[in-house]
Amino acid sequence: MKTSRCFLPGVVVVVLAAIAPRAMQAQDLNIDILHTFTSVPDGAGPAATVIRDADGNLYGTTAAGGDGRCPGTNGAGCGTVYKISKNGRYTILHRFTGGDDDGAFPVSGVTRDAAGNLFGTTQGGNGNLSTIYEITKTGGEKILRFLTNFTGGADANSTPILDSKGNLFGNTQYGGDSSCGFNGNGCGVIYEVQANGAFNVLYTFTSLTEGIEPIGSPVMDSKRNLFGTTQWGGDLNCEQTVGCGTVYELDHTGKYKTLHKFTGKSDGSFPGCVVDDGGGNLVGVTVAGGDLSCSPPFGCGTIFRIDKAGNLKTLYEFTPFTENNNGHGCLVRDSKGNLYGTNANGGTHNAGYLAVLDTADQYTVLYNFPIANSPQGGVPLGVVLGPDGEFFGVNGEGGDTNCGVENSGCGTVFKLAP
């Protein structure tokens, strides 16, 4: 399975974007490959990065590989959930089988509760269902929701989040109101799966001007208000057909509010997702807008901060320095407030890089990945931070060059360390 390197809205997002000339000096990080995907019966084509628990174990998904008997895949498999222990042992926790009994194609990652259970979603497709699932700490799978009822959402392709009571919250890109959206696909929903298993639709997207098709994981604050982004809708003067996306709030009473409608100018357009900045605000990345001399007429994208009153500040405008610069998405923050992420494109070898936006809004490249079909892999899909300056993540291509489309490789899991 070949991972797409055109990260437009609606495709799995990664992190950050084009590097400015002043940020070209990479730092001294060494790469260590923790696992090389080899396709069926192993995983292949990861589409989201890993998470890390307090003991140093990593957990993630692949969108393909696993069970080659999964229908609609021509033997390529419907994806896996895996673990890499702190001592490097790789274990497949679940191989998706598709059909009417199981999900297929997890293009999002997983979240983990305090007891060690994992939760995620499968996008489905090719006759296979979209699901919300749990992998118990003992390794068994439990389907929490088959998304077969259109009003309950369709195409769950974002990682859900957990609250302190064990309730699960997430969104679907499509489904909901069948009269909304393009070709009757619906405009998406925000859902809750309670700890007792009850499923509730908290909000159904219906209005183009208020935002449609939510993308990325939601964020919950201490008052149980949810925040997130929609990839389309909002300011129709920005893009007259579909708008340029929004940041929204769904408060704990179920009241929906559009906090910002992107204009495609200095604020950016087509956001991928937002994360908590640690100070009560949200930070995120847009695919386009910002410097409109880049990729005209759309722009190179921005990093932005927005408070909960809807006041947005552009922290950084990406430049036209690096080609293929639209691999933007979520950021990860350290304890000092620095923001880290990867770009799936660009860099010295045009195979992606790791970068940081520090608290002074200085953007610096930390590591350039080798060519995409190298044994180390390229096309990074985001990182998580280790306790001693390490970065753990996933490459969408490379590794075993006998694997994948046109020998592009099926991806790797890596560690970058000083």
Q: What is the DSSP string of 112-124?
A: E-TTS-EEEEE--
Q: What is the mean pLDDT of residues 401-405?
A: 83
The number of residues in the chain equals 418
Phi, psi of 312 (to 5 degrees): -110, 140
Would 165 be classed as within a structural domain?
yes
Does residue 5 surpass a pLDDT of 60? no
Q: Please give the residue that has the higher pLDDT: either 16 or 230.
A: 230
Would 5 be classed as within a structural domain?
no
Q: Which of 280-294, 317-331, 403-417 has the lowest mean pLDDT?
A: 317-331
Does residue 405 surpass a pLDDT of 90? no
Would 10 be classed as within a structural domain?
no
Would 7 be classed as within a structural domain?
no
Q: What is the mean pLDDT of residues 344-364?
A: 88
What is the rounded distance in angstroms from the CA atom of residue 22 to the CA atom of residue 38? 38
CB 60 within 8 A of CB 413: yes
Dihedral (C-alpha) 400, 405, 406, 410: value to the nearest 10 degrees? -20
Beta strand pairing call for 353-357 and 90-95: unpaired
Would 9 be classed as within a structural domain?
no
For the record, the structure tokens of 305 come out as 């901060």
**pLDDT (tens digit, 9 = 90+) per residue, 74-126?**
999 999 999 999 999 999 999 999 988 999 999 999 999 999 999 999 999 88
CATH number for the domain including 245? 2.120.10.30
The half-sphere exposure of 368 on its side-chain side, counting CA atoms within 13 A, is 14
Domain that holds residue 54: 21-417
Would 3 be classed as within a structural domain?
no
Would 142 be classed as within a structural domain?
yes
What is the rounded distance in angstroms from the CA atom of residue 23 to the CA atom of residue 197? 48
Q: How many domains does the chain have?
A: 1
Would 13 be classed as within a structural domain?
no
What is the rounded distance in angstroms from the CA atom of residue 371 to the CA atom of residue 31? 13
